[in-house]
Amino acid sequence: MPELTPQSTSPSSPALPPVPPGTLPIPPESIPPAVPPILDPVLWEDFPVFRETFLMYISEPEFNASLRKVGEYLFGMLLECYGDWPEWPESSTRTELRAAVADLRHLEGFLAAVGQEHAVASLPWQDARLSRFAARQAAEVARIAHRIEQELAQWAGEAEGA
């Protein structure tokens, strides 16, 4: 095999490819990041698809808004096809409560992870307090999810016999 010479080796720091005109800088240093909105529970259907715990990682406002728009579109398409869906094995109320429990369990895990941050990272004292608060709230969310599961189990026999 032939020896490589300095003229045949690639430079230590390769040149970046050209950036198309109009492309936003990555990371978007001059654009303030998108932040999770304050949600009115009455308007919960306005935020139907992606969880805020996911969207917070899409900090570029234009991409964040685009994903929200895609979610709105997907939700609308699904509702248009609702009549063609197969029947759920349980009532819609039971299925909706099971979906709520799944989302609560996700939130429980998310809050528990935030609740561990003070133990695994150096945080300012205010954030450490918030981290411990998040851990306590994870336990509260767990209690709510458990209570719903108990209700579902209590009425399971009644629902099957109906």
Q: Once rounded to an integer, what is the mean pLDDT over residues 10-29?
A: 60
Instruction: Based on the fold, state whether residues 42 and 100 are members of the same structural domain.
Output: no
156 has a pLDDT exceeding 60: yes
Cα distance between residue 104 and residue 109, in whole Å: 9
Instruction: Based on the fold, state whether residues 71 and 122 are members of the same structural domain.
Output: no
Instruction: Based on the fold, state whether residues 111 and 70 are members of the same structural domain.
Output: no
Whether 152 and 118 have beta carbons less than 8 Å apart is answered as no
71 part of a folded domain:
yes
Which of 103, 117, 99, 109 is closest to 139 using CA atoms?
109
Whether 32 and 61 have beta carbons less than 8 Å apart is answered as yes
| Per-residue pLDDT tens digits for 78-102 | 889 888 888 889 999 999 999 999 9
Instruction: Based on the fold, state whether residues 109 and 155 are members of the same structural domain.
Output: yes
Instruction: Based on the fold, state whether residues 162 and 107 are members of the same structural domain.
Output: yes
pTM: 0.74
Whether 34 and 25 have beta carbons less than 8 Å apart is answered as no
pLDDT at residue 86 in the model:
87
Which of 56, 19, 14, 17 is closest to 35 using CA atoms?
56
Instruction: Based on the fold, state whether residues 62 and 128 are members of the same structural domain.
Output: no
17 has a pLDDT exceeding 90: no
> Based on the structure, what is the number of domains in the chain?
2
Whether 36 and 55 have beta carbons less than 8 Å apart is answered as yes
| Per-residue pLDDT tens digits for 52-64 | 999 999 999 999 9
Most confident of 2-11, 12-21, 65-74: 65-74
| Per-residue pLDDT tens digits for 26-51 | 655 678 888 888 888 898 888 888 99
Instruction: Based on the fold, state whether residues 73 and 97 are members of the same structural domain.
Output: no
Instruction: Based on the fold, state whether residues 69 and 106 are members of the same structural domain.
Output: no
